[in-house]
Structure 1
Amino acid sequence: MALWAIWLIVAGILLFLEMMTLTFYLLWLCIGAIVAAVIDVLLPGSLIAQVLIGSAVVIVLTIFTKRITRSFQKSRGFQDAVDALVGKHGVMLEDATAEAPGIVKVGNETWSAVSNDPVKKGETIVVISRGSSVLQVEKWGGNS
């Protein structure tokens, strides 16, 4: 199989994974793989050039688009889908404490969660804040 085809397969896999995570970082890797495929078509057999130029593209995209994505996120009306979880109710699937994260189901999604006070499996919680991948929750005493 031609190397450019392998680069395109890698790019397709990265694009698929990007659609699952929505982080933009895998998109930049995808674009770097596409550039490496183009370099292979233009300069066949130069794997080092493909890797170096593809990597340079990834680094440039990561550095220069950080400001753009940050300003987009600070723009009026933007709300991250994860930030929308704050205030929502869920059910604990595994016990959680401040030291040992548990698993919580909020809507149709499951998240790692910590709580200052121990929360047991099956208890209803409310999301009070979020970290990068962990929700801060507390017991919810109201009726839904």
Structure 2
Amino acid sequence: MYALAWLILTAVLVLIELHTGTFYFLLLAAASILTMITALAGLPILVQCFTFVVAIALMYIFLLPLLRKLIPSTSKSMIPQLSDYLVGQEAFVVQTISPDEAGLVKLHGEIWSAVANEKIEEGNKVIVAEVRVTKLIVTKE
């Protein structure tokens, strides 16, 4: 009876892992498989729970760091950020930029808010030095 419960828990944890891709639920599923083996051996529920907790602890301490090293993380994207692409590009000032007030620049057909350390008049060409969220830091060409 308990073996079936551990098997169902394993299936649920694997399904959750398929949606998250973090290895946390996969390790929980592996621990529940080990616990299912203890249930099939006829050991009491207390021993099964102890096996589950110990298996999880050991996997998180030893196996998870190893998996993190062997399998590349998706959070470290190979795709360059938009800010990497915009830095160094030329833009045209469409509203005067002054040191104490942001202006507007046109970059690749889009209007961006921009700031600079000096006054830059409308119509001048500027270079994007940095991107901060939705604001460009520009310098005079």
State the TM-score, normalized to the length of structure 2.
0.53
Change in CA separation of 1:68 and 1:26 when aligned onto 2, cut-off 3 Å: same
CA distance in 2, matches of 1:48, 1:69: 30
State the TM-score, normalized to the length of structure 1.
0.52
Q: How do residues 30-69 of structure 1 correspond to structure 2 at under 5 angstroms?
A: 30-44=29-43, 46-69=44-67
CA distance in 1, matches of 2:20, 2:80: 19
Q: Are residues 1:27 and 2:20 paired?
A: no
Q: How do residues 1-144 of structure 1 correspond to structure 2 at under 5 angstroms?
A: 2-44=1-43, 46-72=44-70, 78=72, 80-84=73-77, 87-88=81-82, 138-139=133-134
Question: Deviations along 1:66-116, whole A, 9 cap, x unmatched?
Answer: 33134326xxxx4x3232266159xxxxxxxxxxxxxxxxxxxxxxxxxxx
Specify the code of the residue in structure 2 equivalent to 1:64: F
Specify the code of the residue in structure 2 equivalent to 1:34: I
Query: What is the Cα deviation at residue 58 of structure 1?
Result: 1.1
Query: What is the Cα deviation at residue 25 of structure 1?
Result: 1.3
Runs (4+) of structure 1 exceeding 3 A deviation are: none
Change in CA separation of 1:68 and 1:36 when aligned onto 2, cut-off 3 Å: same
List alignment gaps of at least 5 residues for structure 2: 84-131, 137-141
Query: What is the Cα deviation at residue 140 of structure 1?
Result: 6.8
Specify the code of the residue in structure 1 equivalent to 2:42: L
CA distance in 1, matches of 2:80, 2:16: 26
CA distance in 2, matches of 1:57, 1:69: 16
Specify the code of the residue in structure 2 equivalent to 1:33: S
Change in CA separation of 1:51 and 1:88 when aligned onto 2, cut-off 3 Å: farther
CA distance in 1, matches of 2:52, 2:135: 50
Task: Count the aligned residue pairs.
Answer: 88
* Coordinate RMSD, CA, aligned: 2.6
